[in-house]
Chain A
Amino acid sequence: MSRSAFCSSGSNLVPKTTEALNPLNRPKKHHYLNGRQRTNLYQKNHRASKVLAYYGLRSPPYKLDALEPYMSQRTLEMHWGEHHGGYVDALNKQLAKNDLLYGCTLEELIKVTYNNGNPLPEFNNAAQVWNHDFFWESMQPGGGSSPILGLLQQIEKDFGSFTNFREKFIDAALKLFGSGWVWLVLKREEKHLAIVKTSNAVNPLVWNDIPILNLDMWEHAYYLDYKNDKAKYANVFMNHLVSWNAAMARMARAQAFVNLGEPKIPVA
């Protein structure tokens, strides 16, 4: 069994979430903070399958009912438990059959399986796992309002004003055709923030850009709570859910990779 031929961290034997391979672990259950309701059907399949878990299902950084009334617990249970969990399981099943891809971090896996626009079958699952991890962390209970400090300055520089950015973001969400995501990204080459729409599972990592925020516009993300009212969902996201704390942390980290301007060197 050769080490991964594609990933630079091919020598890294340990998969991303070590809990999954811990031999002392409870039998094949994911490590999560709050009891995830599993359907009986799922448990039956789980006992029967002998899949080694390469990636685990990471829990959102809040309880499943913490985003009420803006995103219901029922939606979180379905969206995280069934959809996100389903992508993790499907990815693990695929990786069990194809160990050339073993040993990558999730981000590397996404870039490799994107295959420059001709995606391999693992891409959809890998990218959706990453997108959903990013999405849960892009929201928080008591979210909304606006960013401060450096991120706010950068937004005002690149969009004119926060209000203008907010309008453009929601507009992008409404104009997206089909399933997909809306992103606030820091473009590495152009060195500025931008709003990007992607279809299905695609994310800005494949273009080597740095995502700061995302919004899931697949219908399953909002249908139970808002039916077809995308505008209400997008507005609620901006007003009550979006985590500018997470965005600012990501922006700070991004600036280690992208030089956004002259540093403020104090004059002696």
Chain B
Amino acid sequence: MALRTLVTRKALGNSVAFRQQLRGLQTHTLPDLPYDYGALEPAISGEIMQLHHQKHHQTYVTNFNKALEQLDDAINKGDSPTVVKLQSAIKFNGGGHINHSIFWKNLAPVREGGGEPPKGSLGWAIDNHFGSLEALVQKMNADGAGLQGSGWVWLGLDKELKRLVVETTANQDPLVTKGSSLVPLLGIDVWEHAYYLQYKNVRPDYLKNIWKVINWKYASDIYEKECP
């Protein structure tokens, strides 16, 4: 995987990323999936995973880098109107990159533990706060299905209050926009591109099935790190 990024860097040459690196600007790259595109079948089809990763997420990364470069230019020139104008593009594309990077880690093939309920402190906290894992799943499914337009439904941890929360965000807004102390444990993408080719307009079916490949191990790790 590292070799592939090396080769693509060389091939980029005069491109945005190369120039950004010259100026010391952090470039963002599309993270690799820790599993094959088809590994999450039948919950999420390989076609969707490939499009979602290679087209949608890549577009967010590319546009994020472009917006950051434009921002850097504007800051250096003292061009305040442009600095402010770029904020929405940065929020959208940067948010898209952040959210999807978390999303890929939130999913795992069944043979690697996808769908296995959380044990340890996270499992206990879920039972404590929501009553049961089923109750949490139902709440997240209801919130996700009810979200109008595009967005995400999150299981988050308020690290100051040490409490679990279920939140939704619109478009590509990251979870922090709903509270600066919120840490995302699990995010489910309810944009139509995340399920349309397979589930068409039946978002509730997508939400019901995605739990079969949710990687609770990752969520538990984050939780244990924040609440030792």
Q: Which residues of A come within 8 Å of B, CB atoms?
A: 78, 82-83, 86, 124, 177-180, 199-201, 218-220, 223-224, 227-228
Contact = CB atoms under 8 A, between A and B. Distances in A.
Contact of A178 (B55, B170, B201): B170
A64 to B, nearest CB: 16
Given A179-B149, A200-B148, A228-B56, A220 B88 contact: no
Contacts of B170: 178
A228 B200 CA distance: 15
Contact of A224 (B56, B148, B149, B196): B196
A78 B197 contact: no
A178 B192 contact: no
Contacts of A177: 88, 92, 171-172
Contact of A124 (B55, B148, B193): B148
Contacts of B150: 178-179, 219
Given A82-B201, A178-B170, A220 B149 contact: no
Given A78-B201, A219-B191, A227 B149 contact: no
Contact of B148 (A82, A83, A201): A201
A220 B148 contact: no
Nearest to A178: B171
Interface of B: 51, 55-56, 59, 88, 92, 148-151, 170-172, 191-193, 196-197, 200-201
Given A78-B200, A178-B92, A223-B192, 13 more contacts: A83-B201, A177-B172, A178-B151, A179-B192, A201-B148, A201-B149, A218-B149, A219-B196, A223-B193, A227-B197, A228-B55, A228-B59, A228-B193
A82 B200 contact: yes
A86 B201 CA distance: 10
A178 B99 CA distance: 14
25 contacts: A78-B200, A82-B201, A83-B201, A124-B148, A178-B92, A178-B151, A178-B171, A178-B172, A179-B149, A179-B150, A200-B149, A201-B148, A218-B149, A219-B150, A219-B192, A219-B193, A220-B192, A220-B196, A223-B193, A223-B196, A223-B197, A224-B196, A228-B55, A228-B56, A228-B59
B156 to A, nearest CB: 21
Contacts of B92: 177-178
B66 to A, nearest CB: 13
A223 B197 CA distance: 8
Contacts of B88: 177
Contacts of B148: 124, 200-201
Nearest to A227: B51
A139 to B, nearest CB: 20
Contact of B201 (A124, A199, A220): A220
A224 B197 contact: yes
Contacts of B197: 223-224, 227
Give the 5 A-B residue pairs with the shortest CB-CB distance, closest first.
Answer: A178-B171, A219-B192, A200-B149, A179-B149, A178-B150
Nearest to A175: B89
A159 to B, nearest CB: 21
A175 to B, nearest CB: 8
A86 B204 CA distance: 14
